[in-house]
Amino acid sequence: MYAPQILIEAALNGLMTGAVYALIALGLTLVYGVLHIINFAHGALLTCAMFAVWGASAWLRLDPYAAMLAVVPLMFGAGYALQRCVIGPASGGSDNNILLVTLGLSIVLENGLLAIFRSDTRTLDSDAALQVVEVGPLLLSTPRLIGFATALAVTGLLWLLLERTDTGRAIRAVAREKLGARLVGIDVDHVYAVTFGLGCACLAVAACLLMPTFYVNPRSGAAFVLVAFTIVVLGGMGSIAGALVGGLVVGVVESFSGLFLGDSLGQIGIFLIFILVLLVRPTGLFGVRG
Amino acid sequence: MLEVRGLRAGYGGTEVLRGIDLAVGAGEIVAVLGANGVGKTTLNKVLSGLVPAAAGEIRFEDRPIARASAAAIVEAGLIHVPEGRKIFPNLSVRENLVLGSYRRGRARRGANLERVFALFPRLKERARQAAGTLSGGEQQMLAIGRGLMAEPRLLILDEPSLGLSPLLVEEMFALVKDLNREGLPIMLVEQNVVQSLDLASRAYILENGTVALSGAASALAADPALRRAYLGL
């Protein structure tokens, strides 16, 4: 058995990674909850955002955290335009089509990145990844701590947006009652695009938080999105609170299974939980029966 | 106020409205009556910009709106309380009302909210409750309240009495009368012929996508053809 200090560190590390997972899952669950589509392009869009952060750092010498101010609006705009000009019109109103359109989009994006950047793996050339803070007897990685705080803050902001603003109420209204929404003058296509943009903005924040300690290549988003799908199912499809709690749980589980089973088997715990949830509570922790 | 001329519309190749002419004047209650499937709900959807008009003209306060978006029509003050309420079940009663002023009437949102709560005290009691948990009658009140939040210049009520108990139907018609007495013109789309003719000043009877009969409500109520067809007399 490990010393309690190591266990506590593993738990904290898991929570910190989990918060960033939660952010990625948040984008996925928001788009699912409102547009009722599973966005297969989520991973490719995350990769795009990570390349944007890498580019900002390599070419413009921007700090990855400062780059957030540019990458978040950029990804929001890209998401808005994608939904408004590509996904919406191409789907012709059928959910099956949207599934295919987002899948196709992910293939186009991934291969576009491959054409431009080749399959090389890139990292930020900064030493931020190695910095630690001492909290009592514990050593915590600074970028992960920043990631944790930022991810929680963004989740909180998103919640406030959805609960307290007209735009947020309109998003929730459209999620369940499109016709009623149009009759109070809500532009449903605009709300869809805003929601998709918000999902992409979550990815942009996640990319800025990941890049200091992670690498990017044209396929690196896919690994995170697999975990994000697990989180969305665990927390309940479409639930914001579910995405946050699910993300934290998955982070801790991954950290502990990595500790006990070795790094290469770290994700096995996640998928065990995934199967258990599907068996015992298919609607997820915060899900409502459809 | 509202003028419709030669309106045709449908879905795909199926024509539902085959040339409708009707008008609603300031301060009037106009009833649009007819059995299921004659095109009443389609007419409402075209008027509120949800279904495009294939031909014909719609003017609201002398502005053409046949090609306008649903949002622009709400903005102009033509408010449609739809059949089946279409409230937001996952939002609270208060949030439903607040969204009523999403496009129009935002400046006086607080005052209008108080007004709706005064009109429907039941909604005030349940302000924080999810709208989906309300009873059918309460949901109908909420749908009308949400419409009033947009400060309508003309209110279209589609089957407000549908699915309500006879007592609540009485209440609903009394409410329509009260709203109209304050000067709000109302287009009442109903299957409930007797009570609607009682309330309205004029009425249109739709049959098979066209206006079969129209005129003063009292004259229509006495019309032998109508009495045979709709009242079973």
* 8-state DSSP, A184: T
CA A33 to chain centre: 14
Query: By the CB < 8 Å criterion, does A194 face chain B?
Result: no
pLDDT (mean) for B26-47 = 93
The amino acid sitting at A263 is D
Residue A238: pLDDT band by 50, 70, 90 thresholds? Answer: confident
> Which among B71, B90, B100 is the nearest to A175, CB-wise?
B90
Interface test with B, best of A36, A184, A188 (most B CBs within 10 A): A184
Backbone angles phi, psi at B81, to 5 degrees: -95, 110
- Tens digits of per-residue pLDDT, A49-66? 999 999 999 999 999 999
Backbone angles phi, psi at A26, to 5 degrees: -60, -45
Superfamily, domain B1-77+153-160+193-233:
P-loop containing nucleotide triphosphate hydrolases (3.40.50.300)
> Which among B69, B89, B100 is the nearest to A184, CB-wise?
B100
CB contact under 8 A, B146 and A185: no
Residue B231: pLDDT band by 50, 70, 90 thresholds? Answer: low
| Nearest Cα residue to B32 out of B222, B224, B213, B232 | B213
- Tens digits of per-residue pLDDT, B197-216? 999 999 999 999 999 999 99
Q: What is the ipTM of this complex?
A: 0.93
pLDDT (mean) for B19-25 = 95
Classify residue A266 as left (phi > 0), alpha (psi -120 to 50) or beta.
alpha
CB contact under 8 A, B89 and A169: no
Query: By the CB < 8 Å criterion, does B130 face chain A?
Result: no
- Tens digits of per-residue pLDDT, B85-109? 999 999 999 999 999 999 999 999 9
Contacts of B70 in chain A (CB under 8 A): 182-183, 185
- Tens digits of per-residue pLDDT, A169-205? 999 999 999 999 999 999 999 999 999 999 999 999 9
Cα dihedral value B208, B211, B214, B218, nearest 10: 30
Hey, is A125 helix, strand or coil?
A: coil
Hey, is B205 helix, strand or coil?
A: strand
- How many contiguous H segments (helices) and E segments (strands) does chain A have? 12, 2
B69-78 burial, b at 16+ Cβ within 10 Å, e below that, comes to ebbbbbebbb
In total, chain A counts a number of residues equal to 290
Residue A278: what pLDDT?
87
CB contact under 8 A, B103 and A179: no
- Give this prediction's pTM: 0.92
B36 exposure class (CB count in 10 Å sphere: 0-12, 13-18, 19+)? exposed
Query: By the CB < 8 Å criterion, does A185 face chain B?
Result: yes
pLDDT over 90 for what percent of chain A? Answer: 64
